[in-house]
């Protein structure tokens, strides 16, 4: 197998990288792809709990890198989605514990066994970021429609380019249609106009992300979740399908009723 290694990054923290990795990975696996999710946020392990796999960790990424276990022993197999695997971050070490060459070697090994290797990048532009991007072919940049997140995203585009990762793709997360409608939030076109990179997806701000995270079940597994639908479409686009972007119109009164009736049926 010769899989694709993708890093999900943002610069700014808390914009939805881990959420995106869990959901996009889960959606790709549900499409039958073999997917490895790598938590590269060393010292701040998170992807395991978002995926509901926190109780199954025995070995972590550092154990695997240092040869203290086999790579396959450190990979946790998801029970809901057969072809989904997680390589958890180490919790007791810090970002300095990894060398870029080790990361390159690891992603190289994973690439041979999986269709997709998706790395959850730490916030910031320091060592942890550099380690997470070193073995990646492509990058997905997550931003929210806020000035600080967009500014950081722009910086990341420049840094990725400098490392030879051209043409990163953008996901705009946590869009609030009501605020966009009033002119109190940057809309999709504004963000694209400013960043001038290709759009991969748009995800609404959606309570179901929080409830699904509470349960440890990515929103893509919930057929009624709007954010889940947005992430499913992102997975389809990564697979080369030409699907329309999820509508970010503020739901009208009648639209809401229709949706309610639709969900009830």
Partner 1 sequence: MVFDFVSWFLGRRDKPRSKDLAKERLKVVLTHDRVDISPQMFEKLRRDLAIACAKYVEIDEAAMSVRLDSQDRRLALIASVPVLGTKATAYSSKRRGKMG
Residues at the site binding partner 1, with contacts judged by CB under 8 A: 146-147, 150-151, 154-155, 157-158, 180, 182-187, 190, 193-194, 196-197
- Distance (Å, rounded) from C-alpha 59 to C-alpha 76? 9
152 lies in the binding site for ligand ADP (CB under 6 A)? no
Segment interacting with ligand ADP (CB under 6 A) among 68-76, 99-107, 202-210, 240-248: 202-210
Q: From edge to edge, which strands make up the β-sheet containing 138-143?
A: 76-77, 84-87, 35-39, 116-120, 4-9, 138-143, 169-175, 198-204
Q: Which does 80 bind (CB under 5 to 8 A by kind): ligand ADP, partner 1, Mg ion, none?
A: none
**Consecutive H or E run containing 89:** none
Q: Which does 151 bind (CB under 5 to 8 A by kind): Mg ion, ligand ADP, partner 1, none?
A: partner 1
Evaluate whether 117 touches 3 at the Cβ level (below 8 Å).
yes
Residues linked to residue 36 through DSSP beta bridges, in sequence order: 85, 117
Residue 96: both structure tokens together = 């300095």
CB of 136 to ligand ADP, least distance (A): 17
23 lies in the binding site for ligand ADP (CB under 6 A)? no
Residue 99: both structure tokens together = 């060398």
Evaluate whether 227 touches 203 at the Cβ level (below 8 Å).
yes
10 lies in the binding site for Mg ion (CB under 5 A)? no
Residue with smaller CB distance to Mg ion, 61 or 180: 61
- Distance (Å, rounded) from C-alpha 259 to C-alpha 265? 10
CB of 169 to partner 1, least distance (A): 14
Evaluate whether 15 touches 144 at the Cβ level (below 8 Å).
yes
Q: Which does 155 bind (CB under 5 to 8 A by kind): Mg ion, partner 1, ligand ADP, none?
A: partner 1
Q: Which does 206 bind (CB under 5 to 8 A by kind): partner 1, Mg ion, ligand ADP, none?
A: ligand ADP
Footprint of ligand ADP on this chain (CB under 6 A)? 10, 13-19, 173-174, 203, 205-206, 209-210, 213, 227
């Amino acid at each position: 197998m010769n899989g694709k290694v993708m890093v999900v990054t943002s610069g700014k923290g808390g914009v939805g990288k881990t959420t995106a990795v869990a959901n996009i990975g889960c959606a790709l696996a549900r499409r039958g792809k073999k997917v490895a999710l790598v938590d590269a946020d060393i010292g701040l392990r998170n992807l395991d709990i978002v995926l509901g796999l926190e109780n199954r960790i025995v070995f972590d990424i550092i154990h695997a890198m240092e040869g203290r276990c086999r790579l396959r022993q450190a990979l946790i197999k998801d029970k809901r989605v057969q072809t989904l695997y997680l390589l958890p971050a180490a919790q007791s070490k810090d970002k300095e514990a990894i060398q870029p060459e080790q990361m390159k070697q690891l992603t190289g090994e994973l690439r041979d066994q999986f269709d997709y290797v998706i790395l959850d990048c730490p916030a910031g532009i320091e060592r942890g970021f550099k380690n997470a991007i070193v073995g990646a072919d492509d990058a997905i940049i997550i931003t929210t429609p806020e000035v600080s997140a967009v500014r950081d995203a722009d910086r990341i585009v420049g840094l990725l380019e400098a490392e030879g990762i051209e043409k990163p793709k953008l996901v705009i997360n946590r869009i609030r249609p009501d605020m966009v409608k009033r002119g109190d939030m940057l809309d999709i076109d504004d963000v694209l106009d400013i960043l001038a990179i290709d759009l991969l997806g748009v995800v609404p701000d959606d309570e179901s992300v929080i409830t699904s995270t509470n349960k440890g079940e990515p929103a893509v597994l919930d057929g009624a979740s709007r954010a889940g639908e947005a992430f499913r479409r992102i997975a389809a686009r990564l697979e080369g399908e030409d699907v329309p972007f999820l509508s970010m119109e503020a739901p009208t009164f009648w639209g809401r009723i229709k949706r309610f009736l639709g969900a009830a049926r």
